Structure 1
Amino acid sequence: MSYTEEVYERVVAQNPNEPEFHQAVKEVLDSLKVVIDKNEEKYRKLSILERLVEPERIISFRVPWVDDKGVVQVNKGYRVQFNSAIGPYKGGLRFHPSVNQGILKFLGFEQIFKNSLTGLPIGGGKGGSNFDPKGKSDREVMAFCQSFMTELSKYIGADMDVPAGDIGVGGREIGYLYGQYKRNRGLYEGVLTGKGLSYGGSLIRTQATGYGLVYMLNEMVKAKNDTISGKTLIVTGSGNVAIYAVEKAAELGGKVVAMCDSNGYIYDPEGIKLDIVKDIKEVKRGRIKEYADRVEGATYTEGKGIWNIKCDIYLPCATQNELDLDAVKILIANGCKYVAEGANMPTTREATDYLMANGVTFMPGKAANAGGVATSALEMCQNSARLSWTAEEVDTKLHQIMVDIFHKVDDASKRYDMEGNYVAGANIAGFEKVVDAMIAQGIV
């Protein structure tokens, strides 16, 4: 049995009932096998893989808060501080009923490699709660955030751990969290990213993951002597990532014809009118089905199945494992040529393998959606220097980071004779930097 297989079996045995974490570890270890085999004796002696797959620290805590009826509610809170070899822990906070320790471990593990790929000095972490902000009043959200941060503030800091937003944690939640951190610690520092512009936030941060995804997509199609202009796209989800991927794709001449939320999907053959989507999702916090009521010729379909719509490019930007084998078979039959992940691991392992085996150019989320964390790190830079960069400055830096990531991934795939396998390329390029730092720092 190979070293990577031994470590994977150990992960499954020691972390039962955490399928998303198992999936993420297996995908990474399988693609790293070519690298590990060349250095197996050294890596075994130093237990590099055992240390890589085990979080440095997991903080778990209860979050009591009072709802608008005066009833005390209790949620679970977590922070997984996975790896700090190349910098302070960095990764989002997710507030969603599906959150559990296994999902946060998968996200934190992926974050190690994503953050490494940016070239910026940030380690990997993730956190969150099973609290659901949907349907809660602003006062209830504030009460929860203040209770959550009262405990979390003991374990984070500008040079220790810098959380950001994720699903369910937007500008409102970051504001409440930051206010409570400042109140608890008496420090005005860049401890959270995604902050409002009036108190240390960065321009382009809201747009960053979506913009970065399309910048990556643009490099992918250019490498195939192709262009986004004139292509038909599907973008799943309807949060920040999806909205700003649609915006940037339209700027580059693409036509996005479908989006979705957890209830169903809309199809507009004339191209999604983003101002209406923004009004529904960002202003009214409504459901995507309202789009069909407001736009002539648009249709809404309840449930899943957005992949049945014909497209050239598919950008999954909703949640993990949303795109399975049956779905990608339909996409390929309908002529889809490019898939780039805007969410974290939205494509199942079987679907990923099938896409690559059937000529689809595929870019995994740890590379394609790194624009968000890259811009978070740029926000940290601005906070440390007490500066505020223009939107153009941040956007230019973001664009260059995404171009650089593409070339790191492409180069790694070529060096190991797997040209075009961007899953392996992303894992290898991310791993190389982290393992070098781990070895240099000794047994820690």
Structure 2
Amino acid sequence: MTKKSAKFREEFLAQLKETNPNQPEFHQAVGEVLCSVTDWYLDQTDMRKNAVLERFTEPDRSIKFRVAWEDDDGQIQVNRGWRVQFNQTIGPYKGGLRFAPSVNESVFKFLGFEQTLKNSLTRLPMGGAKGGADFSPKGKSRREVGRFCQSFMQELYRHIGTDIDIPAGDIGVGAREISILFGHYLKLTNKWTGVLTGKGCDFGGSAGRTEATGYGCIYFLCHMLEEANCEIADKRIAISGAGNVALHAASKAIELDAKVISLSDSSGTLHIKDGLDHEMLDKIEEWKTTKRESLADFKTGKGVKFLSDEKPWSLECDIALPCATQNELEEKDAKKLVEQKVMMVCEGANMPLTADAQQVLRDADIPHAPGKASNAGGVAVSGLEQSQNAQRLRWDADMVDKRLREIMKTIHADCVENSPKRKIIDYRDGANLTGFRRVADAMNAFWHS
């Protein structure tokens, strides 16, 4: 980055922080993208005149609402709901719903901003959005989750539609929650439309949607390895998380003969020295999805050890796949990975590396794929679900997987093509520049709309 670009970035971020105070996740996401696109943007005289970057970093609208619901004791509980519709330049708003106590407007703005770039990378006609509530489904009965989802949809339905905004699932919002939300939308509107994705296959959902983000991450990783003249077989892969993305990434990696040595949750890390097999993975998946309990209480077998309050990044591995949540891999963790001579890092979550951690990897010339590229498989198949709903068709799993592989291959090729000339492929800059340019070109064509 030139001195002129660095000064522009510093001044732009200062203004962004002044107008969006106390939103560190959003500031971080915008700052990362500015590192990649500023040199190019400063040469675009027409775009600067039309304030494309200023418009790009300001959501179209942020909707905040009350969600009141009744628990099983008859007590009324109150939560907050959000929908940040960030950018619809290249298609209707598209992005997941997250139910977690830690969410706030900053988190949803960062996720909506990232989603805009991620959706652009798929080349499908989808804008970016994100939403959810500060509600945790953990420990709640099915009836409590149902009453909450219905109350949430009671407001959300006013702001969504097949040509407006198509939400999907995310952390805390799986098939159960999507089904209840979709059912209540039908009741409120008396319209069957593909307004939500991630639905059950019997009522408009796509085959392969549940697996798509995890599988897509591994497909992207395989292209990274191929670019480095390597293959995934026998590689030791440390995975964080034990949710949908982590479990399906692990499943596909095992299928391709890799050695998955870890999964994790908030209580610590499950270390499987000789690598997971499908039998153990199935047991862990049942434990996490049915019982929804901690890995600390999972009955381990021979060669399996639970590391309380530890992350997977101190384990010796060839590849790191952070698949849990934002900023989970910090500077000290990145240094451990460098010391262990990790080959590459491929993100399965949204922005799981802190800015300092990213810099450690860059300084060590370790390839690092950002989530907007490597975990785009989920939203890609959501886009395919929209197409199936619009055509009233249902594709089989093989066809969906074929399309998913093609999309991940194209995203990887675009990242390589737009990577700056460095010792290694700069996947971060390649992804940011590709995604930004597509949206920016359209915004510029719209003039100042």
Task: Normalising by structure 1, report the TM-score.
Answer: 0.97
CA RMSD of aligned residues (A): 1.2
2:116 is the counterpart of 1:112? yes
Distance (Å, rounded) in 2 between the aligned partners of 1:349 and 1:53: 19
Write out per-residue CA displacement over residues 205-234 of structure 1, whole angstroms, 9 at most, x where no aligned residue. Answer: 000000000000000000000111111011
Distance (Å, rounded) in 1 between the aligned partners of 2:11 and 2:153: 38
Write out per-residue CA displacement over residues 341-394 of structure 1, whole angstroms, 9 at most, x where no aligned residue. Answer: 000000011111111220211100000100000000000000000000000000
2:134 is the counterpart of 1:127? no
* SS of equivalent residue, structure 2 residue 295: coil
* CA apart distance, 1:285: 2.0
**Aligned partner (choices 200, 206, 231) of residue 202 of structure 1:** 206
Question: Given residue 415 of structure 2, which amino acid in structure 1 is its aligned partner?
Answer: V
Corresponding residue for residue 284 of structure 1: 291
Write out per-residue CA displacement over residues 1-30 of structure 1, whole angstroms, 9 at most, x where no aligned residue. Answer: 644433222110011110000000000011
* Matched ranges for 1:81-96 at <5 A: 81-96=85-100
Distance (Å, rounded) in 2 between the aligned partners of 1:216 and 1:306: 21
Distance (Å, rounded) in 1 between the aligned partners of 2:292 and 2:108: 25
2:394 is the counterpart of 1:394? no
Corresponding residue for residue 264 of structure 1: 268
**Aligned partner (choices 406, 431, 438) of residue 433 of structure 1:** 438
* Matched ranges for 1:101-180 at <5 A: 101-180=105-184
Is the Cα contact below 8 Å between 1:234 and 1:257 reproduced in 2? Answer: yes
Corresponding residue for residue 335 of structure 2: 329
* CA apart distance, 1:417: 6.5
Distance (Å, rounded) in 2 between the aligned partners of 1:56 and 1:117: 20
- Deviating beyond 4 angstroms after TM superposition, the runs of 4 or more aligned structure 1 residues are 416-419
Distance (Å, rounded) in 2 between the aligned partners of 1:226 and 1:368: 18
Is the Cα contact below 8 Å between 2:41 and 2:48 reproduced in 1? Answer: no
**Aligned partner (choices 190, 195, 201) of residue 191 of structure 1:** 195
Kindly tell me the number of residue pairs found equivalent between the two proteins: 441
Write out per-residue CA displacement over residues 271-330 of structure 1, whole angstroms, 9 at most, x where no aligned residue. Answer: 123112112112322222233x24222111111332111000000000000001101111
2:33 is the counterpart of 1:42? no
Distance (Å, rounded) in 1 between the aligned partners of 2:292 and 2:79: 23
Corresponding residue for residue 298 of structure 1: 304
Is the Cα contact below 8 Å between 1:280 and 1:290 reproduced in 2? Answer: no
Is the Cα contact below 8 Å between 1:410 and 1:419 reproduced in 2? Answer: no
Write out per-residue CA displacement over residues 43-81 of structure 1, whole angstroms, 9 at most, x where no aligned residue. Answer: 221011110000001110000000000000000000000
Is the Cα contact below 8 Å between 2:253 and 2:260 reproduced in 1? Answer: yes
Is the Cα contact below 8 Å between 1:195 and 1:201 reproduced in 2? Answer: yes
Q: Which segments of 5 or more consecutive residues in structure 2 lack a partner in the other structure?
A: none
Is the Cα contact below 8 Å between 1:324 and 1:351 reproduced in 2? Answer: yes
* CA apart distance, 1:332: 1.3
Distance (Å, rounded) in 2 between the aligned partners of 1:434 and 1:301: 44
Question: Given residue 102 of structure 2, which amino acid in structure 1 is its aligned partner?
Answer: S
* SS of equivalent residue, structure 2 residue 310: coil
Write out per-residue CA displacement over residues 72-115 of structure 1, whole angstroms, 9 at most, x where no aligned residue. Answer: 00000000000000000000000000010000000000011100
Write out per-residue CA displacement over residues 214-263 of structure 1, whole angstroms, 9 at most, x where no aligned residue. Answer: 00000000000011111101110000000000011111110001110111
Question: Given residue 325 of structure 1, which amino acid in structure 2 is its aligned partner?
Answer: E
Is the Cα contact below 8 Å between 2:150 and 2:184 reproduced in 1? Answer: yes
* SS of equivalent residue, structure 1 residue 23: helix
Corresponding residue for residue 226 of structure 1: 230
What is the identity percentage for the equivalent residue pairs of Structure 1 and Structure 2?
Answer: 49
**Aligned partner (choices 309, 315, 322) of residue 316 of structure 1:** 322
2:68 is the counterpart of 1:64? yes
Is the Cα contact below 8 Å between 1:82 and 1:89 reproduced in 2? Answer: yes
* CA apart distance, 1:423: 0.6
Corresponding residue for residue 29 of structure 2: 24
* SS of equivalent residue, structure 1 residue 176: helix
Distance (Å, rounded) in 2 between the aligned partners of 1:339 and 1:398: 21
Question: Given residue 282 of structure 2, which amino acid in structure 1 is its aligned partner?
Answer: D
Distance (Å, rounded) in 2 between the aligned partners of 1:290 and 1:269: 19
Corresponding residue for residue 379 of structure 1: 385
Distance (Å, rounded) in 1 between the aligned partners of 2:392 and 2:312: 45
2:362 is the counterpart of 1:359? no
Question: Given residue 197 of structure 1, which amino acid in structure 2 is its aligned partner?
Answer: C
* SS of equivalent residue, structure 1 residue 191: coil
Corresponding residue for residue 421 of structure 1: 426
* SS of equivalent residue, structure 1 residue 342: coil
Question: Given residue 316 of structure 1, which amino acid in structure 2 is its aligned partner?
Answer: P
Distance (Å, rounded) in 1 between the aligned partners of 2:227 and 2:362: 16
Task: Normalising by structure 2, report the TM-score.
Answer: 0.96
Q: Which segments of 5 or more consecutive residues in structure 1 lack a partner in the other structure?
A: none
Distance (Å, rounded) in 2 between the aligned partners of 1:143 and 1:441: 42
* CA apart distance, 1:335: 2.0
Is the Cα contact below 8 Å between 1:337 and 1:360 reproduced in 2? Answer: yes
* SS of equivalent residue, structure 2 residue 89: coil
